[in-house]
Amino acid sequence: MGILEAILTVLGISPISGLGDSMSRSKTLTLMMIIGVILFSGFALFLFYMMGK
């Protein structure tokens, strides 16, 4: 299991058929997934921060 598959497993998106294979072949898809995860995490942290106020 490579690093990419481990990250997908932790994120819970590993069962999606062929995403790991597609990401390993496509730099653009990998970059889009990384940016999406970062933006989603930032939004979740923002909501958590606003909930505490």
Write the pLDDT tens digit of every residue in 9-23.
Answer: 777 765 566 777 888
Segment holding 53, helix H or strand E: none
Please say whether the beta carbons of 23 and 29 come within 8 A: yes
What pLDDT is recorded for position 14?
59
Question: What's the domain count of the chain?
Answer: 1
Burial 23-39 (b: 16+ CB within 10 A, else e): beeeeeeeeebeeeeee
Tell me if the pTM is above 0.75.
Answer: no
The single-letter code of the amino acid at 30 is: T
pLDDT at 1 over 70: no
Domain that holds residue 7: 3-52
DSSP 16: S
